[in-house]
C-alpha cells in the first residue's frame, strides 16, 4: 500500500477516541467466488473465495486502516458460517450483533474479473437470506459508536435506524461534553432505489453517490453530480462521488467543491471492492478530523476561563459552560472544511488506488 502517503497524512495522530469508539457498517455480507480470467470468459480462470458485500468490504478496509469497526449484517447459519466467522475474526471486525439465520443458504456472488478489460460480471445465488437487521440495530448500545454507515439497502429500515440515531444524538446534548453526535453516512448505489435513496439525504451527514447511481439520474460525469441542483439540494449532506480511474470529487454542505485524481498502481490487478475501500478511507479520515476538531474545541473552551486554575471540577464546569451543545450539534459538520475535505478525498483515492493494485485486501495496511 501507499504507506508513505498514509504516514504523511495520518502520522501518529490516531487518538484514543478513534480507537475506543467503533464505526458501524450496516448492510450485507456474502461469499464472493471470484474467477480471475485473462480474457472474458476464459476457461483457464483461477477461483478464489473471499468475504464480500459492500458493508462487509468497507469494514475490512476500515480495520486494515486501523479503525475499530463492527459489521451488522445477516449471516447464514447453514453454509460457510465457519469461513465467514474466521474471516471476520482474522480482520478484527466485531460481528457480535449479526443475526444468524437458520434454514437459508448464504448469499453467494459469482464474480468474473477480466484482466484484459477490467470488467466485473456478478451473478448472485441464494438471494433468500433475509436482509433485515432492524431488530438487532434497535438493541445496540449507541454509546459504542462514533459513526454509522448504511449500505443503502432496506430503505424503510434505514430510515427507522436513522431516526433512532437522531433521537440518541439529541439525548446526548446534555451529557458529557466530550461525546460528539454520531455521524451518519449512506451509500447511494442501487439505481433501482433511486428516488427512495434520495429521500434519505436530508437525514444524513455524508452521502456516497456511485457512478452507476449518477448515470441513472442522467449525470454523465462526476462534476455534474456535485452541481448543487443535481444531488442533495437543500440538504446538509456532504456529497462524495468516486469515478473509477478519473478519481473522485466532493462537495461540502456549504457548497465548496474539491477533487482528486486517481493514484493508479503500477498494474491494476483487482478493482473488486475499490468503491468500498474508497468509502472506508473517506469515513476514517473524516472521523479522525472530527475527533481532532472536538479536542481543539474542548481545549479552547477550557483554556479561555481556567488557565489560572488546576481545580478539575472548575475546569469541568468551565467546559460545560462554554460548550454550547445545541450550537455544536447543529454545526457538527463544520469540521468538514475545504482543506479537510480536500485531504480526505486525496487520501481515499490513494488508499483505493493501492487496493486496485492488490488481489483482495491483504497488504492494504
Ligand atoms: P466501484 O468499485 O464502486 O466501482 P470506483 O470504480 O468508482 O468504485 O472506484 C473507487 C475509487 O477507486 C476511485 O475513486 C479511484 O480512486 C480508485 N480506482 C478505481 N479504479 C481505479 C483504477 N483503475 N486506477 C486507479 N484508481 C482506481
Q: What ipTM was predicted for this assembly?
A: 0.98
pLDDT at 11: 39
**What is the residue with the minimal CA distance to atom 26 of ligand 1?**
353
**What is the residue with the minimal CA distance to atom 13 of ligand 1?**
244
**Cα 268 to ligand 1 centre (Å):** 10
**Which of 352, 357, 358 is the best mutation target for the ligand 1 pocket, counting ligand atoms within 8 Å of the beta carbon and taking the most?**
352
**Cα 118 to ligand 1 centre (Å):** 11
pLDDT confidence of 14, banded at 50, 70, 90?
Answer: very low
Give the rounded percent of residues in the chain with a pLDDT score beyond 90.
55
**Which of 244, 276, 357 is the best mutation target for the ligand 1 pocket, counting ligand atoms within 8 Å of the beta carbon and taking the most?**
244
pLDDT tens digit string along 78-127?
878 899 999 999 999 999 999 999 988 888 999 888 777 777 888 888 77
Pocket residues: Cβ below 6 A from ligand 1: 210-211, 242-245, 247-248, 262, 264, 268, 271, 274-275, 278, 349, 352-353, 356
pLDDT at 103: 86
pLDDT tens digit string along 40-50?
666 666 678 89
**Cα 223 to ligand 1 centre (Å):** 16
pLDDT tens digit string along 144-165?
999 999 999 999 999 999 999 9
As a three-state string, the secondary structure of the chain is CCHHHHHHHHCCCCCHHHHHCEEEEECCCEEEEEEEECCCCCCCCEEEEEEECHHHHHHHHHHHHCCCEEEECCEECCCCHHHHHHHHHHCCCECCCCCEECCCCCCEEEEEEECCCCCEEEEEECCCCCCCCHHHHHHCCHHHEEEEEECCCCHHHHHHHHHHHHHHHHHHHHCCCCCCCCEEEEEECCHHHHHHHHCCHHHCCEEEECHHHHHHCCCCCHHHHCCCCCCCCCCCCEEEEECHHHCEEEECCCCCEEEECCCCCCCCCCCCCHHHHHHHHHHHHHHHHHHHHHHHHHHHHHHHHHCCCCCHHHHHHHHHHHCCHHHHHHCHHHHCCHHHHHHHHHHHHHHHHHHHCCCCCCCCC
**What is the residue with the minimal CA distance to atom 21 of ligand 1?**
245
Amino acid at each position: 500500500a501507499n504507506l508513505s502517503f498514509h504516514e504523511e497524512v495520518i502520522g501518529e495522530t490516531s487518538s484514543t477516541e478513534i480507537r475506543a469508539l467503533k464505526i458501524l457498517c450496516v448492510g450485507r455480507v456474502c461469499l464472493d467466488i471470484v474467477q480471475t480470467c485473462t480474457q472474458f470468459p476464459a476457461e483457464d480462470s483461477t477461483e478464489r473465495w473471499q468475504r464480500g458485500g459492500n458493508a462487509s468490504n468497507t469494514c475490512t478496509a476500515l480495520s486494515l486502516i486501523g479503525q475499530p469497526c463492527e459489521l451488522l449484517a445477516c449471516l447464514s447459519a447453514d453454509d460457510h458460517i465457519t469461513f465467514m466467522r474466521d474471516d471476520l475474526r482474522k480482520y478484527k471486525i466485531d460481528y457480535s450483533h449479526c443475526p444468524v439465520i437458520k434454514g437459508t443458504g448464504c448469499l453467494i456472488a459469482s464474480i468474473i474479473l477480466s484482466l484484459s478489460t477490467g470488467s466485473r460480471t456478478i451473478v448472485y445465488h441464494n438471494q433468500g437470506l433475509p436482509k433485515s437487521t432492524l431488530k438487532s440495530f434497535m438493541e445496540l448500545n449507541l454509546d459504542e459508536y462514533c459513526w454509522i454507515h448504511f449500505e443503502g439497502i432496506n430503505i424503510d429500515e434505514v430510515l427507522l435506524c436513522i431516526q433512532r440515531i437522531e433521537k440518541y444524538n439529541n439525548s446526548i446534548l446534555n451529557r458529557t461534553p466530550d461525546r460528539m453526535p454520531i455521524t451518519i453516512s449512506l451509500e447511494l448505489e442501487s439505481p433501482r432505489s433511486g428516488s427512495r435513496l434520495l429521500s434519505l439525504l436530508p437525514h444524513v451527514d455524508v452521502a456516497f453517490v456511485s457512478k452507476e447511481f449518477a448515470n441513472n439520474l442522467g449525470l454523465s460525469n462526476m462534476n455534474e453530480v456535485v452541481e448543487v441542483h443535481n444531488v442533495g439540494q437543500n440538504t446538509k449532506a456532504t456529497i462524495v462521488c468516486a469515478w473509477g480511474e478519473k478519481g473522485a470529487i466532493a462537495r461540502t454542505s456549504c457548497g465548496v467543491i474539491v477533487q482528486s485524481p486517481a493514484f493508479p498502481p503500477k498494474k491494476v490487478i483487482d478493482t473488486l471492492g475499490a468503491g468500498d475501500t474508497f468509502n472506508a478511507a473517506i469515513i476514517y479520515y473524516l472521523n479522525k478530523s472530527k475527533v481532532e476538531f472536538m479536542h481543539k474545541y474542548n481545549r479552547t473552551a477550557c483554556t479561555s476561563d481556567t488557565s489560572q486554575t488546576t481545580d478539575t471540577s472548575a475546569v469541568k464546569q468551565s467546559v460545560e459552560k462554554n460548550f454550547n451543545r445545541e450550537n455544536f450539534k447543529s454545526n457538527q459538520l463544520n469540521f468538514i472544511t475545504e482543506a479537510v475535505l480536500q485531504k480526505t478525498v486525496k487520501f481515499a483515492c490513494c488508499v483505493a488506488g493501492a487496493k486496485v493494485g492488490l488481489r483482495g485486501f491483504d497488504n492494504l495496511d
